[in-house]
Chain A
Amino acid sequence: MTSAVSFQKASRHFGSVRAVDAVDLDIAPGEFFAMLGPSGSGKTTCLRLIAGFEQPTSGSISIFGERAEGVPPYRRNVNTVFQDYALFPHLNVLDNVAYGLMVKGIGKAERHKAAEEALSLVRLPGYGARRPGQLSGGQRQRVALARALVNQPKVLLLDEPLGALDLKLRENMQEELKSLQKALGITFVFVTHDQGEALSMADRVAVFNDGKIMQIGTPEDIYQRPKTRFVADFVGSSNVLPPDFVQRYSGQHRWGSLRPESIRVGRAASGEGVSARLVSTNYLGATTKLALDADGLRLHAIVPAGTALPAEGEAVVLTFNREHLHLMDEPA
């Protein structure tokens, strides 16, 4: 089967800066694919390589089997939802949405009808006559989405589209994007620095750092079985355990990771385990986050709210199931 998007050793260097460095990537048709990483990790440059705003310095990129190098953005069947939405301020909402059809030479009645349909799809019917300046951030975001979808792209690129929205709106849009993608069956490539967003929405996630992909996998893979310390730390702030510590429990001299929710905290007298000191407690509503100090090793534990807790500064004993201790590939 042809991939929707495929990178073969694709690089984009800006002088001595390797924004994207020899990336191999295959995105399946119809997939919801997230590119996750801190700022400057190369995820947005990857997106721009797919859109055609950047050309690879070396390597090759293909979109549905067609070579993409040298093809300008306006000849790719790919559309983008920009981080700042990039709506045209001089056009009303309907003409913004119909823009792609207008430059293709489609008649006014037909393109306005298609634009109206796209607006209903993003649940903004009847907003066509307004100016972008009269809309809220969430509404502009929907218009940007409709403007991209009306062209029926094979791949939809989303560059941190939820970054500017407040929390409640962001959660709504996450669900909506997900169901829209299911309904339309279009390949979505989504760039974000928010690991929660990537895990909750994507079918597969690629974790970027320093222009390279650290790990590609399902959200569960990435979360439960990080391959490197970077992934463990960046995706959900896992406890990263040094090889000496791991050796005591698993017999192998390798880096390990342990999810904060896998740690049980007991009173010092309660038996065997890692002795530690409770540094601070942080009430988060449904859970409480504990900062612990085990002989100089900083650990975090998350316990359900309502658990009886020792006082701050007291000695505690930490226990966990061996199978929750994940050994990473990264050499010690």
Chain B
Amino acid sequence: MRSDGSQSAPLGLKIAAACGLLFLHLPILLIFVYAFTTEEKSFVWPPPGLTTQWFAVTWNRPDVWQALSLSVRVAAISTAIALVLGTLCSAAVSRTKFFGRETISLLVILPIALPGIITGIALRSAFSLADIPFSFWTIVLGHATFCVVVVYNNAVARFRRTSGSMIEASMDLGADGFQTFRHVVLPNIATALLAGGMLAFALSFDEVIVTTFTAGQQQTLPIWMLEELIRPRQRPVTNVVAMVVVLVTLLPILAAYYLTRDGDQIAGSGK
């Protein structure tokens, strides 16, 4: 039920809402503005001059490209692992009853409830205990711990709304387990997996804390940015990177939002 849209809110409420939104989004705009500043050592307001030279500088910096490519690869592989494990786990938890089901459900969700620093320290000591050298794969493992949760939560919610007799109906009509998964289960959870996957990707992409404990010499993009802020050299490069990242990630997130919104309507009207 939606309240009548034609009814106007009081002026005070409108001003308060505008202030809230400005507070949230003005800093982001500031970051964009500083990407064009001519002052490279510190951020001064107002910017003494405007220039687009930093885009060219950023383009030619190999460390930016390295960090970006590492972040993308880590996020992609963590998300892929999370999609497989999270889907399997949510299917097990929501489709069958077994001893310790609630415990498993809690254990899966725990990494996102725990402070990142705990996860990070725990993983670091586990890696050194097992004599695993820090590498690309240790970062992926660290990220996968919380990416699984996001996919799991999305998929479990969708499974809960999907009628269990649909799977039985598919089997009844002659589809074996694999065909049922492909033709019935997957289409019904696809949008939930897409949303969960995108969120997992985004979480992994800007993760700092766990990464600092599980990375060796590599720098993911957020860690590169942190380091860059301390150095007084070509500061606006960080802002350029930040701006590009915001613009590039905004589009898929908007797409995911619209996709899952439509999916929910279809799933809801089927009931």
* A positions within 8 Å CB-CB of B: 51-53, 72-74, 78-80, 82-84, 86-90, 99-100, 102-104, 131-134, 147-148, 151
Output the least CB separation between A21 and chain B (Å): 22
Q: Is the CB–CB distance between A100 and B165 below 8 Å?
A: no
Q: Is the interface of B mostly helix, strand, loop or mixed?
A: helix
Interchain residue pairs with CB less than 8 A apart (24): A73-B168, A73-B171, A74-B171, A82-B168, A83-B165, A84-B165, A86-B163, A87-B270, A88-B166, A88-B170, A89-B266, A89-B269, A99-B170, A99-B183, A103-B170, A103-B173, A103-B174, A103-B175, A131-B266, A133-B270, A147-B173, A148-B172, A151-B173, A151-B174
Q: Other than the known A74-B176, A83-B165, A132-B270, what 11 A-B pairs have Cβ atoms closer than 8 Å?
A: A73-B172, A86-B169, A87-B166, A88-B169, A90-B188, A99-B170, A99-B183, A103-B173, A131-B270, A133-B266, A133-B269
Which of B163, B165, B172 has the largest number of chain A CB atoms within 10 A? B172
Q: Is the CB–CB distance between A90 and B179 below 8 Å?
A: no
B31, CB-defined interface residue at 8 Å: no
Residues of the B chain whose Cβ atoms lie less than 8 Å from the Cβ of A78: 172
Residues of the B chain whose Cβ atoms lie less than 8 Å from the Cβ of A133: 266, 269-271
Residues of the B chain whose Cβ atoms lie less than 8 Å from the Cβ of A132: 270
Alpha-carbon distance between A87 and B170 when the two chains are bound, in angstroms: 9
Residue of B nearest to A98 (CB): B173
Residues of the A chain whose Cβ atoms lie less than 8 Å from the Cβ of B188: 88-90
Alpha-carbon distance between A206 and B176 when the two chains are bound, in angstroms: 32
Alpha-carbon distance between A225 and B238 when the two chains are bound, in angstroms: 89
Proximity bits, B159-187, A CB within 8 Å = 1, else 0: 00001011011111111100100011001
Alpha-carbon distance between A104 and B179 when the two chains are bound, in angstroms: 10
B267, CB-defined interface residue at 8 Å: yes
- Taking a contact as CB atoms closer than 8 A, the residue among B169, B183, B271 that contacts A82 in the complex is B169
Output the least CB separation between B157 and chain A (Å): 16
Output the least CB separation between B179 and chain A (Å): 5
Residues of the B chain whose Cβ atoms lie less than 8 Å from the Cβ of A73: 168, 171-172
Residue of A nearest to B186 (CB): A90
Q: Is the CB–CB distance between A84 and B163 below 8 Å?
A: yes
Q: Is the CB–CB distance between B172 and A89 below 8 Å?
A: no
Output the least CB separation between B159 and chain A (Å): 14
Residues of the A chain whose Cβ atoms lie less than 8 Å from the Cβ of B183: 99, 102-103
Proximity bits, B10-46, A CB within 8 Å = 1, else 0: 0000000000000000000000000000000000000
Q: Is the CB–CB distance between A90 and B187 below 8 Å?
A: yes
Q: Is the CB–CB distance between B168 and A86 below 8 Å?
A: yes
Q: Is the CB–CB distance between A99 and B168 below 8 Å?
A: no
Alpha-carbon distance between A100 and B267 when the two chains are bound, in angstroms: 22
Residues of the B chain whose Cβ atoms lie less than 8 Å from the Cβ of A104: 174
Output the least CB separation between B244 and chain A (Å): 36
- Taking a contact as CB atoms closer than 8 A, the residue among A80, A88, A100 that contacts B184 in the complex is A88
- Taking a contact as CB atoms closer than 8 A, the residue among A82, A90, A134 that contacts B165 in the complex is A82
Q: CB within 8 Å of A: which of B184-237?
A: 184, 187-188
Query: What 7 A-B pairs have minimum CB-CB distances, sorted nearest first?
Result: A89-B270, A133-B269, A100-B173, A86-B169, A86-B165, A103-B175, A73-B171
